[in-house]
Every structure is written in structure tokens, then in C-alpha cells.
Amino acid sequence: FKTTDILGFPFVNTTFSSFMNQIKSRIEQRKNTFIITANPEIVVFAKKHPKYQNIIKSSNYITPDGVGIIKASHILNDDIPGRISGFDIFLNLLKWGNANHKSAYFLGAKPNVINDLKTTLNHNYPHLKISGIHDGYFNYDEQIVKDIQKTQPDMIFIALGYPKQDLFINKYRSISNGLWIGLGGSFDVLSG
Ligand code: UDP
């Protein structure tokens, strides 16, 4: 895709639907993919934390999540057509995953939230295969990592908030091909 540089970060500059088509095609090909959905808050935070900044730059796609990024593209005279938010990507992939019998792993949020999420997923997306599901308050990574490694899910949804979720993905993305994406508070939204 064409990208637009905003404060040193190359943001995806395309429509939501063309972006999703490319992501789905990469999932089908089992390509290792890391998406960061970045809002201005994340950009400012990354500017102050070089390690996080490098992780963001090592992702495959940085998408514009927040009107501030869209406005910045207007100022730069390099218009981005619209937001590509984590929650919209999440919903779109759940629907597609259900229609195409894909598998997904879910990590993050509080134990009661993840329990409700499981009920919602089984009800709304019965053909989506849940490879595993784990809350986001754990002391050891081992079991989670083993489960992902063993099940090799098509999609790995990590909702630990930033920068935690991206540090986790950066550390472990090599253990399984497929899509890795940080989703912030999306599990809370979908389960609530
Ligand atoms: N969270 C988690 N483990 C942690 C810290 C946070 O699972 O150690 C979850 C939290 O329960 C919530 C999400 O991460 O579901 C953070 O949501 P928020 O909207 O704050 O995301 P952000 O905007 O910080 O990315």
C-alpha cells in the first residue's frame, strides 16, 4: 500500500475494505503479519520510548486509528481516506472467520470479561474455531505460548492495552504464522 509518513511512522493510506482484503489474503497464505492500530496517544508515547518505537516500526502495518491521524494527513496534503480501528478490524475478521471456518486465539482482559466473550463468540460466530482463550492477568507466559505454538491459529487477538500487547506480539510472533494484532479494550466492548 501507499503509506503516509506522520511523525516518522508510515501509516497505511487506503480504504478499510482494501486493507481488509490484503489482510485476509495474507491470512490465507499463512504469512506472519503484525498490525498496529495507532492513535495520536500511541504516536506520542512511542516518540518518548525508543524501544516501543522500534517495535512499531517492525510491524507490517500501522493503521490510522483516530481522527487526529486523519487530520494530520489533511494538513500534510496526503489525505488518508478514513480510520482503520482495531475494533472494526476485529469485528470484520470475526465475521469472515466464521464464514470461512478460521481459527483464532484470544488473549487479554479480565477473567469475567473473557468468559462473557466466549459466550458471545459461540453464539454470534459458531463456525469460528476458538484455538484458545486466556485472560490478560497472568504471571507466566509459558502456557499461553505453548497453546499458540501447538494450535497455530489463523488469527491471534491480543487485548492487553498498549504498549503491553505490542511487546508481547514482538516477543512471540515468530512462534506462529498468521495474523497478530493488538486490540486494546476491544474484548470489553464486544463482551459488554
Ligand atoms: N489488560 C490486560 N492485562 C493487563 C492490562 C490490561 O488484559 O495487564 C486489558 C484490560 O483489561 C483491557 C485492555 O487490556 O481489556 C486495555 O484496554 P484499554 O482500552 O485501556 O486499551 P488501550 O487504549 O490502553 O490500548
pLDDT in tens, 112-144: 999 999 999 999 999 999 999 999 999 999 999
Cα of 158 vs centre of ligand 1, distance in Å, is: 10
At residue 36 the predicted structure's pLDDT band, cuts being 50, 70 and 90, is very high
Q: Which atom of ligand 1 is nearest to the CA of 162?
A: 25
In the structure, which protein residues have their CB atom closer than 6 angstroms to any atom of ligand 1? 108-110, 136-137, 159-162, 164, 184-185, 187-188
Domain, as residue range, for 97:
3-191
Percent of the chain clearing pLDDT 70 (strictly above) = 100
Under 8 Å between Cβ of 72 and 6: yes
Helix (H, G, I), strand (E, B) or coil at 180: strand
Instruction: Give me the residues paired with residue 133 across strands.
Output: 106
pLDDT beyond 90 at 10: yes
User: Would you say residue 1 has pLDDT above 90?
Assistant: no
pLDDT one-digit tens code per residue, 159-170: 999 999 999 999
Average pLDDT over residues 175-184: 98
Over residues 82-113, the pLDDT tens digits come to 999 999 999 999 999 999 999 999 999 999 99
Q: What is the mean pLDDT of residues 38-59?
A: 96
- The mean pLDDT value of the chain amounts to 97
> Looking at the 3D structure of the chain, how many domains does it have?
1
**Ligand 1 centre distance from Cα of residue 162 (Å):** 7
pTM: 0.97
Q: To test ligand 1's pocket by mutation, which of 45, 115, 160, 165 has the most ligand atoms within 8 angstroms of CB?
A: 160
Dihedral (CA of 97, 103, 108, 113) sign: positive
Spatial distance between the Cα atoms of 186 and 37, rounded to a whole number of angstroms: 12
CATH of the domain at 17: 3.40.50
Task: State yes or no: pLDDT of 192 exceeds 90.
Answer: no
Q: What percent of the chain has pLDDT over 90?
A: 99
What's the confidence (pLDDT) of residue 148?
98
Query: What ipTM was estimated for this complex?
Result: 0.95
Q: Is the peptide bond before 163 cis (omega within 30 degrees of 0)?
A: yes
Gap from CA of 78 to ligand 1 centroid (Å)? 32
